[in-house]
Amino acid sequence: MLFKLGSLFMKPGAKLAMLAFAVVFPFLASNEYQVYVMASAFVWAIAVYGLNIITGYCGQLNLAHGGFFAIGAYTLGLLTADAGWSFWPAFIAALVVTAVLGFLVGIVSLRLKEHYFAIFTLCVGFIIYLLIDKWEELTHGPIGVRDIAAPYGFGVVDFTETTPFYYLVLAFLVFAIWFMGRLSRSLLGRTFIAIRNGDELAQSLGINLMRNKVLAFVLSTTYAGMAGALYAGMVRFIGPEEANIIHTFDMITYLLVGGIGTLTGPLLGTVGIVWITQSLQFLEEYRMIIFGPLLVILVIFFPRGITGQFLTWMHHKAQSIAPAKKRKESKVVTTQRREVENNA
Amino acid sequence: MNLFFQQIINGLTLGSIYGLVALGLTLVYGILHVPNFAHGALYMVGAFMSYFFMVDLGVHYWIAMAGSAAVVAVLAILCERLVFHPLRHSPPIHDKIAAIGILLFLEAVVQMFWGSDFRRLSSPFTGIMNFDGLIIPEQRLLIIVAAFVLVFVLQMFLRKTMTGATIIAMAQSREGAFLVGIDANRVAMMTFAISGALAAIAATLYAPINLVYPAMGHLVIMKAFVIIILGGMGSIPGAIVGGMIIGFAEAFGGFYISTAYKDIIAFGLLVLILSARPQGLFAKGAH
């Protein structure tokens, strides 16, 4: 049901308007810094789309996502700065490394359910952070990696400049969203949702839980790796702090504010919050005083975020009586599910 | 040989602290059926409250500890009332995210008031005992003794009193507890209060040999999670045994293998154990 509504919201017109705005944004921006902020918001949005696959669609709270982002960034950084690779081969390598590591972590961690999985991935994220911080021979430890290569341009396009890089990131973002859209409408995406809604039921329908969850996990870590590699190419200097758990929490906030398990949610949430934090500079350090309670209020009152709320509102407009009944039913279902779980 | 005993003392100290924190976490898990990610923040607030009472108000260590336990207990009750209670019918992922929200909020508030500097909490127990070459700082001895006393008292409370029995009953079966007329709200608030107080006491005990800073809860809470997974979620003896396992593994691993990587040991252990036994070490069946 969500996706019929999703496509309603994502009418070609709305999609094109958003894309057009993104394309002309560098000309509307008053200075280069704004373009830079937007580009970094897009990079984070790609990572949040990855988190949306495993957490939003598949229902597994992955707390190692920031760790995989850092692995992508470090793979690119170390290959270009220390091994002398150029950007694009290193970029491909970053995708491969995060996918392979995601597969390895996935086959171990996805045997665990619910909070066991969340705690396990929390530990994995922390191990990644500690390894980056302590394994100085490989990662330079707390000093970080400098002199990371930027992607080489062609003709007059020079990706070390902000605006060309912005378009590069935009292209990747469009690709990421397009892929997500295809995924969410495919049988595979519906399989993920079936797993989220109840894995025993999904299994009884003949869905191979492990294979699908691992696939979702690998896709999500690859997204994180792609975002991390782009991030490294953009800032050209990275340190162990990229693997800090706080980035994972940031991404969860973006996802939840935008709308978990929706197609436009990650983009709206990320771009919105990044700009709010940017415009209220004093928030930078204490942003969590606002975003912490915001997370709580959102999960209590608007668990599906901006997009979810908008969809509900559209749905209300479309049919005025039916949805209320439907929502009541779904509420009863979740209550029962919770009780079943508590009894288990 | 003395070095070996020294590590045993270190392991006992660490194990006691981890055990106390994990105990609170496991009690709340019994009621909430969701791991409370905000527990580490309660631990951190506990340390800062003691610091505030001792440095700014100049009260004695024990009074500071009691005051901090009371404040954090109230804070934990507030979390239950304002956040977890309204979420009791939501899917478990919402509780987890809400708990992360509380964690981020408390850390930011503490950082606003005290900054992110490292602080020292002094303790009246600075002496060192020397048993024929085996050196035991008084504070470490205090930690070990206090942990054993607390666990004993808690065990008595849960087993021998009616109020304590309601907590056990609720953890065993929610519906069964309702059937015999147990007030779920009261039990939930009480459990949160106990868990908060335990975290504050553990933080106050450990702070004098460690430092006080806003991110101090991160490592401890993650290790407490490792412990309750090892010990079986919701199991009280499991939390204590698991705490000791991690404490000893860290003390010996840090000494004999590598100090730099000693924090990885707990997590590496968890990854190894869960890879072999997805349901944890002591859990009876797969969940």
What digits encode the pLDDT tens for the residues B30-58? 777 777 888 999 999 999 999 999 888 88
Which residues, listed in sequence order, are joined to residue A145 by a DSSP beta bridge? A238
Structure tokens at A39: 């580009």
In this predicted structure, what is the pLDDT of residue A11? 61
Domain total for chain A?
A: 1
In this predicted structure, what is the pLDDT of residue A336? 45
Half-sphere exposure of A150 (CA within 13 A, CB side): 17
Phi, psi of A20 (to 5 degrees): -60, -40
Nearest by CB to residue A334, choosing from B91, B96, B229, is: B91
**Residue A157 resides in a domain:** yes
What's the pLDDT band for A219 if we cut at 50, 70, 90?
very high
Of B48, B39, B55, the C-alpha closest to B103 is B39
What's the pLDDT band for A208 if we cut at 50, 70, 90?
confident
**Residue A95 resides in a domain:** yes
Structure tokens at B57: 């108000």
Q: Is the per-residue pLDDT at B208 higher than 80?
A: yes
State the Cα–Cα distance between residues B185 and A55, nearest whole angstrom: 30
What's the pLDDT band for A156 if we cut at 50, 70, 90?
low
pTM, whole model, 2 decimals? 0.82
The dihedral built from the CA positions of residue B96, B101, B104 and B109, taken in this order, carries a sign that is negative
In this predicted structure, what is the pLDDT of residue A342? 35
State the Cα–Cα distance between residues A177 and B228, nearest whole angstrom: 39
pLDDT digits (tens, 9 = 90+) for B85-126: 888 888 777 888 888 889 889 988 998 888 888 888 888 877
Min Cα distance A193 → chain B (Å) is 14
What number is the average pLDDT over the span A118-134? 88
List Cβ<8 Å contacts ≥24 apart for A309-316.
Answer: A309/A259, A310/A9, A310/A259, A311/A2, A311/A5, A311/A6, A311/A8, A311/A9, A311/A259, A311/A262, A314/A5, A314/A8, A314/A9, A315/A5
Nearest by CB to residue A108, choosing from B86, B267, B275, is: B275
In this predicted structure, what is the pLDDT of residue B137? 84
State the Cα–Cα distance between residues B66 and B61, nearest whole angstrom: 9
**Residue A316 resides in a domain:** no
Min Cα distance A17 → chain B (Å) is 33
State the Cα–Cα distance between residues B33 and A64, nearest whole angstrom: 22
State the Cα–Cα distance between residues B143 and B201, nearest whole angstrom: 10
Sorted by sequence, the CB contacts under 8 Å of residue B16 that are 6+ apart come out as B143, B144, B146, B147, B148, B205, B243, B247
**How long a stretch of residues is chain B?**
287
State the Cα–Cα distance between residues A42 and A187, nearest whole angstrom: 28
Better-scored residue on pLDDT, A113 or B1: A113
Written as one string, the DSSP assignment of A161-202 is SHHHHHHHHHHHHHHHHHHHHHHHHSHHHHHHHHHHH-HHHH
Sorted by sequence, the CB contacts under 8 Å of residue B178 that are 6+ apart come out as B184
Contact B270 A295 (CB under 8 A): no
Better-scored residue on pLDDT, B156 or A2: B156
Question: How many other CB atoms sit within 10 Å of the CB of residue B52?
Answer: 18
Q: What is the mean pLDDT of chain B?
A: 85
In this predicted structure, what is the pLDDT of residue B33? 78
Min Cα distance B166 → chain A (Å) is 17
B263: chain A residues, CB-CB within 8 Å? 130
What number is the average pLDDT over the span A1-21? 64
In this predicted structure, what is the pLDDT of residue A98? 95
B220: chain A residues, CB-CB within 8 Å? none
A289: chain B residues, CB-CB within 8 Å? 105, 108-109, 112
Contact A130 B287 (CB under 8 A): no
Separation in Å, CA A79 to CA A75, A150, B53, B70, B109: 6, 12, 51, 53, 40
Q: Is the per-residue pLDDT at A10 higher than 60?
A: no
- Report the chain B residue with the minimal C-alpha distance to residue A119: B225
Contact A295 B108 (CB under 8 A): no
pLDDT digits (tens, 9 = 90+) for B136-149: 888 888 888 999 99
What number is the average pLDDT over the span A218-224? 94
- Report the chain A residue with the minimal C-alpha distance to residue B176: A343
Structure tokens at A200: 């025993």
Q: Is the per-residue pLDDT at A332 higher than 70?
A: no
Min Cα distance A253 → chain B (Å) is 9
Nearest by CB to residue B226, choosing from A123, A294, A343, is: A123
Min Cα distance B152 → chain A (Å) is 28
**Residue A287 resides in a domain:** no
State the Cα–Cα distance between residues A277 and B79, nearest whole angstrom: 26
Contact B33 A342 (CB under 8 A): yes
State the Cα–Cα distance between residues A35 and A25, nearest whole angstrom: 8
Of A241, A177, A215, A180, the C-alpha closest to A99 is A215
Contact A123 B104 (CB under 8 A): no
Of B115, B124, B36, B192, the C-alpha closest to A118 is B36
Separation in Å, CA A253 to CA A65, A330, B14, B22: 13, 25, 33, 27
Q: What is the mean pLDDT of chain A?
A: 82
Q: Which of A107, A119, A131 to mutate to test the interface with B (most CBs of B within 10 A)?
A: A119
Min Cα distance A296 → chain B (Å) is 5
ipTM: 0.80
What's the pLDDT band for A41 if we cut at 50, 70, 90?
very high
Half-sphere exposure of A43 (CA within 13 A, CB side): 26
pLDDT digits (tens, 9 = 90+) for A278-320: 777 666 667 778 878 888 888 888 877 777 777 778 777 777 6
Sorted by sequence, the CB contacts under 8 Å of residue B159 that are 6+ apart come out as B165, B168
Whichever domain contains A219, its CATH number is 1.10.3470
What number is the average pLDDT over the span B260-270? 79
Contact A134 B90 (CB under 8 A): no
- For residues A35 and A163, the answer to whether their CB atoms sit within 8 Å is yes
CATH of B2-276, one of 2.60.120, 1.10.3470, 3.40.50, 3.30.70: 1.10.3470
The boundaries of the domain holding residue A36 are 2-273
**Residue A35 resides in a domain:** yes
Contact B287 A122 (CB under 8 A): no
- For residues A48 and A255, the answer to whether their CB atoms sit within 8 Å is yes
SS3 content of chain B, % helix, strand, coil (to 5): 75, 5, 20
- For residues B251 and B7, the answer to whether their CB atoms sit within 8 Å is yes
Which residues, listed in sequence order, are joined to residue B136 by a DSSP beta bridge? B129
Q: Is the per-residue pLDDT at B285 higher than 80?
A: no
State the Cα–Cα distance between residues A326 and A5, nearest whole angstrom: 14
Min Cα distance A11 → chain B (Å) is 30
State the Cα–Cα distance between residues A245 and A119, nearest whole angstrom: 12
Q: 3-state DSSP call for residue B233?
A: coil
Question: How many other CB atoms sit within 10 Å of the CB of residue A295?
Answer: 27
- Report the chain A residue with the minimal C-alpha distance to residue B99: A296
In this predicted structure, what is the pLDDT of residue A344? 30
In this predicted structure, what is the pLDDT of residue A305? 77
pLDDT digits (tens, 9 = 90+) for B132-191: 777 788 888 888 899 999 989 988 898 888 888 888 888 888 888 888 888 888 888 999
Nearest by CB to residue A112, choosing from B83, B112, B278, is: B278
- Report the chain A residue with the minimal C-alpha distance to residue B261: A134
B109: chain A residues, CB-CB within 8 Å? 289
**Residue A260 resides in a domain:** yes
In this predicted structure, what is the pLDDT of residue A335? 46
What number is the average pLDDT over the span A135-162? 78
**Residue A217 resides in a domain:** yes
